[in-house]
Amino acid sequence: MDFFHAIILSIIEGLTEFLPISSTGHMILAADLLSIPESEFLKSFEVIIQMGAILAVVVIYFKTLITKKSIMTRLIVAFIPTGIVGFLLYKLIKEYLLGNSQVVLWSLFVGGIILIIWERYYKGQKHHIEEIEKLSHKKAFVIGLFQSLSVIPGTSRAAATIVGGLIMGLDRRRAVEFSFLLAVPTMIAATGLDLIESSLSFSNYEWMLLGTGFVGAFITAIISIKFFLRFVKNHTFAPFGVYRIILALTLWSFVVR
């Protein structure tokens, strides 16, 4: 892996982290297409640089995170299911799921179909929660259960939490924002666990690659977040479902051998 690879993967991470199309899945597929040798460092890189994208959320929503404790408690409750699943299945996820292009393609394809079907069902349905503070802790926990499905690469943490938020009654914008904010404790925990498991045993060169990926993901994530917030004002998530299906079908013959 070199700096060119780090830059490409960081751009992909930042642009896709908060869209319902799976950033991890895209990085796994990109690494395969770029013929980057699968390694423990590559798997760690794909997890750790997500902190760059998360920093973009912290910057944009800094005031909300600092001043609104009621939102913070809901984020903590929503994080619990993923925290438990991620901790208990960490070795299984990293050994068998991360880096598995077939799992990614199937998840993208099936998830795309679910998004399209969901939009047909949701169209015309009325939401009744227009502020995250009004979301009950019980419903926040259920959204967290949806997020826990995203330990499967290609599922998309954003897609799972957004659909979960809509089912629990949040309007589109608030469901998207809750997904953004929930990424903060989730990815801090995921990155922290990965750093602990790796014992910080990276070479100086690998640390520089991680730094490059972090910065690239941060910059592109800010662009992606602002785009997505504008997009949801007048569009459904169905186009992302179509994209997922087309991507999975197009890349199947390239990455599955």
What does the pLDDT average to over 156-183? 91
pLDDT digits 0-9 by tens, 172-190? 889 999 999 998 988 888 7
CA pair distance 49, 208, nearest whole angstrom: 12
118 pLDDT band, cuts 50/70/90, is confident
Residue 135 has a pLDDT of 92
Residue 235 has a pLDDT of 87
87 pLDDT band, cuts 50/70/90, is confident
Residue 256 has a pLDDT of 60
Angle at Cα 206 formed by Cα 150 and Cα 183, nearest 5°? 25
Q: Which residue has the tokens 């944009």?
A: 60
pLDDT higher than threshold 80 for residue 65: yes
Residue 97 has a pLDDT of 74
Report whether 33 contacts 254 (CB < 8 A).
Answer: yes
257 pLDDT band, cuts 50/70/90, is low
What does the pLDDT average to over 49-71? 89
Residue 64 has a pLDDT of 86
124 pLDDT band, cuts 50/70/90, is low
CA pair distance 125, 88, nearest whole angstrom: 37
Residue 161 has a pLDDT of 94
99 pLDDT band, cuts 50/70/90, is low
Q: What is the mean pLDDT of the chain?
A: 88
pLDDT higher than threshold 70 for residue 80: yes
Residue 200 has a pLDDT of 67
Report whether 213 contacts 13 (CB < 8 A).
Answer: yes
Residue 228 has a pLDDT of 92
What does the pLDDT average to over 133-160? 91
CA pair distance 254, 105, nearest whole angstrom: 11
What angle separates helix 137-148 from helix 157-167, to the nearest 10 degrees?
150
Domain spans, the chain: 3-255
H/E/C letters for each residue in the chain?
CCHHHHHHHHHHHHHHCCCCCCHHHHHHHHHHHCCCCCCHHHHHHHHHCHHHHHHHHHHHCHHHHHHCHHHHHHHHHHHHHHHHHHHHCHHHHHHHHCCCHHHHHHHHHHHHHHHHHHHHHHCCCCCCECCHHHCCHHHHHHHHHHHHHHHCCCCCHHHHHHHHHHHCCECHHHHHHHHHHHHHHHHHHHHHHHHHHHCCCCCHHHHHHHHHHHHHHHHHHHHHHHHHHHHHHHCCCHHHHHHHHHHHHHHHHHHCC
pLDDT higher than threshold 90 for residue 195: no
pLDDT digits 0-9 by tens, 7-36? 999 999 999 989 999 888 888 889 888 989
Residue 110 has a pLDDT of 94
